[in-house]
Structure 1
Amino acid sequence: MRLTGISAAFDRRLDPASRAPIAVGFSGGGDSLALLILTLDWARAHGRPVLSLTVDHQLQPASAAWTREAVTHARDLGANALSLAWTGDKPTAGLSAAARRARHALLAQAARAAGARVLLLGHTADDRMEAAAMRAEGSTVSDPRDWSPSPVWPEGRDVFLLRPLLDQRRSDLRDFLRERGETWLDDPANDDPRSARARARRSLAATGAPAAEPARRAPPIFEGDPVGVIALPRDAAAAHLAAACLCAAGTERPPRGERLERLVARLRSGELFTATLAGARIEAGPDAVRFHRDAGESARGGLADLALGPHETGVWDGRYEITAGKAAVTVRALKGLAASLSKAQRAALKATPAAARQALPALALASGGVVCPMLGGPALAVSEGVRIRALFLDRFRAATGLIDQECVT
């Protein structure tokens, strides 16, 4: 059986000239097995390695054996293969959501550690249908997209998800596998009536073709500044406003529902206002709306210190990736520390938007000095090789479709 459109999806999103591995989330089930085989076919034609990643959620007695079988199967097919485990105590409530987050975090961390920028997942047209059925019953599950940034943060930074099977029916993928003489694992959880997805799957077993994938919005026109500012026109799409809140605040969940609707209504009305939402400070001017990190979050547990050992890398406040130099360093919010900056840095701070100043990262050095790396100047010489990267602008580009291929940076 010939599956159409999949090679075009690979060609559209992946970089044939890259030599980075292509990561594939492989459960051992039929959908992910078909994806792994198809990915290996494309990768061999372009000289690229494939890394299969299997997550053991440790929720079933047989999960360890299933994971070993999946890893062996992937290696027999010609992929490099790793197993990942969700260890530790499991929540008694919200288990499905917690397992989903843990899975995405493990996959993203392993992909990034291997140098992979793209992680392929085996969602199908049936998954889109099931998601729609679940939403009709009150679930908030979203539609899987063919291309999107990893949903976990900061573990998923720089990792994109590609789902090239979204136009394929599950039954066709199994016919494809049978013709190749392949067998696959069937997770009994897929038939557990306590699962909303299993119920949706059962109710849709005999339905026809799924609805078309939702249309994509045009990417936004925006301005950004590494000191922590994202600016959009007042008439920006609601999804882009939500993404700006998310990225400026460095959080994982964008605002939704009534709170987002109220923000949109206020902007459309022409009102000039300042507000906070989902960790972001919002300043609505006559022509544009600007998003900053809300420095007041420190009173609610945000903007926490980050201690880094020599040459250690960490993400501070979800917005800046920082690598220590030869000496240990502690990253703190600049709030309350500006008087300890050098004269040159204090002068540079005055040119920074007032609302962004207090939430800038400051380095408390072992020598007792304080340096704000985003302000530049000769004071950085005392930071002894500290490297810093602002994450929120690229994150916003990824979230709004401005980065839509592996080779786009």
Structure 2
Amino acid sequence: MSIDAVTGDATAITPEAATSEFLHSLSKPAHILVAVSGGSDSTGLLIALAERLKSHPHDDITLTAATIDHGLRAASAGEAREVAAFCASRGISHFIRRWEGEKPGTGIMAAAREARYALLAELASEISADAIVTAHTWDDQRETIAMRGARRGQGGYGTGIADAVLFDRRIWVVRPFLACRRAEIRTYLETRDVSWLDDPSNEDARYERVRTRMELAREPVAEMPADGGADRAALSERAAVWLDEHVAIHAGALCAVARPGLSADAAVVAYALSYLAAIFGGSSYPPGRAQMERVLEFVNGANLGRRTAGGVIFDLRRDALYLMRESRNIAPVSVLPGEKVNWDGRFEIENFGPTAVRVSAPGVGNTTIFPANLPGGVVKRAQAAMPSIVPEGGDKAASVALLPRLAPFDRFLTRFDLTFANSLSVAFGREAYRRLPISAL
């Protein structure tokens, strides 16, 4: 898949060309799971893949489709069955998965997205799929860039949708149609006499994306603006080098940035520190722009001392900048036998023992896990936010696995950030992230 097709001032390409390019770039053998809602985009993607594999047979590529029924509309179950029947008529293996349980009262679209990816990932594991494929388009990209730009108050454009995203460290989600226009996809289907379903929520102005789509419809259609992906991928690579040269991670709870590192490329320092702050704060997102601007002003200043942002202490000393979790607002949790729990967004704790364990802060005692040359006050603050794991009842010792969690990357990791994330994962004592299933990026 051409990097220019998704990260530059891209010229839209046809569904057939996008499909051919994707299959050519796919690491093989491969079993791909296509997410199909029944709408024009996903139906077009499924048909284009099926037709290409039929006209250019690949014994080493398996195609499966899946529909997620979110259960948010009365008609959704029937629509999922329509998609299943359509796939059956084409000889395509198809599964339906339903989002069960109580739905949140707010943030329904974000929750639905999380549920959709989780259900697709579970199914992919069941059928041994190597990648999930979704039908995000040029139009989706344009809307996303406009929305993110508006949220940042740029009055312009932000970073767009990535062509590949790793979900939950488990499976890559690839978007072959990101340089295809929806109008061309529909023309492609019409020439093949293939119909599609229209989701009424796509016309509901209560949703930000729908409002943005309506606004963009009133503007002249232009070339896709640069989505920032190529620049961010390059920044990720430079930040990985910076990390290796200037940063040390201790016990997954303390970060030391050598003083010379703070004088490096300002864009690299801002990028890396924002993600380090998210990780040590247990947050899926870096601190806001205003917060990070204050942090960067502080670390670049002449005054030593401490600042707090996003639940993270930035302790600036003559030798280094130290980052650690603030010891406030760390809730204890109980972990049942056989259960895996995310504690404070910073650690994954899996209980292998026969007894429930309680995880809380502060962790106390063994200071030898930190190098002796670290400042005592820094070590004390880091320890105050470390996990203490104690069996609940009985005298049996706890049997647990404790892994640092890289909150901004462990759930959704864009291909743009992969190089930096891999270096960071290794620095925390974890394995590198899964390899991309696409060979020609």
Q: TM-score when scaled to structure 2?
A: 0.70
Given the superposition, is the C-alpha separation of residues 2 and 227 from structure 1 closer, same or farther in structure 2, using an over 3 Å criterion? closer
- AA partner of residue 139 (structure 2): D
Match of 1:373 in 2: none
8 Å contact 1:330–1:363 — kept in the other structure? Answer: yes
8 Å contact 1:228–1:293 — kept in the other structure? Answer: yes
Given the superposition, is the C-alpha separation of residues 48 and 129 from structure 1 closer, same or farther in structure 2, using an over 3 Å criterion? same
Q: Distance in 2 between matches of 1:11 and 1:320?
A: 39
8 Å contact 1:56–1:86 — kept in the other structure? Answer: no
User: Post-superposition shift, 1:79?
Assistant: 3.7
8 Å contact 1:334–1:360 — kept in the other structure? Answer: yes
Q: Distance in 2 between matches of 1:366 and 1:169?
A: 57
Aligned residue pairs total 377
Question: Is the aligned partner of 1:365 residue 2:379?
Answer: no
Q: Distance in 1 between matches of 2:44 and 2:66?
A: 14
Given the superposition, is the C-alpha separation of residues 292 and 395 from structure 1 closer, same or farther in structure 2, using an over 3 Å criterion? farther
- Which range is displaced more, 163-172 or 191-200? 191-200
Q: Distance in 1 between matches of 2:286 and 2:413?
A: 14
Given the superposition, is the C-alpha separation of residues 48 and 6 from structure 1 closer, same or farther in structure 2, using an over 3 Å criterion? closer
Q: What's the secondary structure of 2:389's corresponding residue?
A: strand
Per-residue deviation, residues 183-225 of structure 1 (Å, max 9, x unmatched): 2211122123443322332343461322122132422131434
**Which among 138, 142, 145 is matched to residue 129 of structure 1?**
142
Match of 1:198 in 2: 210
Match of 2:335 in 1: 307
**Which among 326, 341, 345 is matched to residue 294 of structure 1?**
326
Higher relative contact order (CA 8 A, sep 6+): 2
Q: Distance in 1 between matches of 2:254 and 2:127?
A: 32
Match of 1:227 in 2: 252
Given the superposition, is the C-alpha separation of residues 88 and 170 from structure 1 closer, same or farther in structure 2, using an over 3 Å criterion? same
Match of 2:201 in 1: 189
Aligned-pair Cα RMSD in Å: 3.8
Given the superposition, is the C-alpha separation of residues 160 and 265 from structure 1 closer, same or farther in structure 2, using an over 3 Å criterion? farther
Question: Is the aligned partner of 1:318 residue 2:338?
Answer: no
What is the correspondence of 1:1-400 to structure 2 with a 5 Å cutoff?
3-9=16-22, 14-17=26-29, 21-38=31-48, 45=58, 47-74=60-87, 76-85=90-99, 87-91=101-105, 93-108=106-121, 110-111=123-124, 118-134=131-147, 143-150=160-167, 156-205=168-217, 207-214=221-228, 215-216=231-232, 217-219=234-236, 220=239, 221-222=242-243, 223=247, 224-231=249-256, 233-234=261-262, 235=266, 236-269=268-301, 271-286=303-318, 289-298=321-330, 302=331, 304-309=332-337, 311-335=338-362, 338-339=364-365, 345=366, 347-348=368-369, 353-365=379-391, 382-384=397-399, 386-392=400-406, 395=409, 398=413, 400=417
Given the superposition, is the C-alpha separation of residues 388 and 118 from structure 1 closer, same or farther in structure 2, using an over 3 Å criterion? farther
Q: Distance in 2 between matches of 1:286 and 1:34?
A: 59
- AA partner of residue 177 (structure 2): L
User: Post-superposition shift, 1:239?
Assistant: 3.4
8 Å contact 2:40–2:197 — kept in the other structure? Answer: yes
- AA partner of residue 189 (structure 2): L
Given the superposition, is the C-alpha separation of residues 406 and 326 from structure 1 closer, same or farther in structure 2, using an over 3 Å criterion? closer
Match of 1:376 in 2: none
Q: Which 5+ residue runs of structure 2 have no aligned equivalent?
A: 1-13, 423-432
Per-residue deviation, residues 258-313 of structure 1 (Å, max 9, x unmatched): 11222222233354332222233333345754433322232xxx4x313122x333
8 Å contact 1:30–1:173 — kept in the other structure? Answer: yes
- AA partner of residue 364 (structure 2): A
Q: TM-score when scaled to structure 1?
A: 0.75
Given the superposition, is the C-alpha separation of residues 135 and 326 from structure 1 closer, same or farther in structure 2, using an over 3 Å criterion? closer
8 Å contact 1:74–1:81 — kept in the other structure? Answer: no
User: Post-superposition shift, 1:126?
Assistant: 0.8
User: Post-superposition shift, 1:332?
Assistant: 1.1
Given the superposition, is the C-alpha separation of residues 348 and 191 from structure 1 closer, same or farther in structure 2, using an over 3 Å criterion? closer
Q: Distance in 1 between matches of 2:383 and 2:84?
A: 49
8 Å contact 1:125–1:166 — kept in the other structure? Answer: yes
Match of 1:379 in 2: none
- AA partner of residue 307 (structure 1): V
Per-residue deviation, residues 313-361 of structure 1 (Å, max 9, x unmatched): 33333233333224134141351x525xxxxx56446758444323333
Per-residue deviation, residues 97-116 of structure 1 (Å, max 9, x unmatched): 44444444544555566665
Given the superposition, is the C-alpha separation of residues 360 and 135 from structure 1 closer, same or farther in structure 2, using an over 3 Å criterion? closer
Q: Which 5+ residue runs of structure 1 have no aligned equivalent?
A: 151-155, 340-344, 371-381
Given the superposition, is the C-alpha separation of residues 131 and 362 from structure 1 closer, same or farther in structure 2, using an over 3 Å criterion? same
Q: What's the secondary structure of 1:227's corresponding residue?
A: coil
User: Post-superposition shift, 1:170?
Assistant: 1.0
Given the superposition, is the C-alpha separation of residues 273 and 328 from structure 1 closer, same or farther in structure 2, using an over 3 Å criterion? same
Q: Distance in 2 between matches of 1:395 and 1:32?
A: 26
Q: What's the secondary structure of 1:218's corresponding residue?
A: helix
Given the superposition, is the C-alpha separation of residues 64 and 209 from structure 1 closer, same or farther in structure 2, using an over 3 Å criterion? same
8 Å contact 2:99–2:115 — kept in the other structure? Answer: no
Given the superposition, is the C-alpha separation of residues 197 and 326 from structure 1 closer, same or farther in structure 2, using an over 3 Å criterion? closer
8 Å contact 2:64–2:92 — kept in the other structure? Answer: no
Q: What's the secondary structure of 1:269's corresponding residue?
A: coil
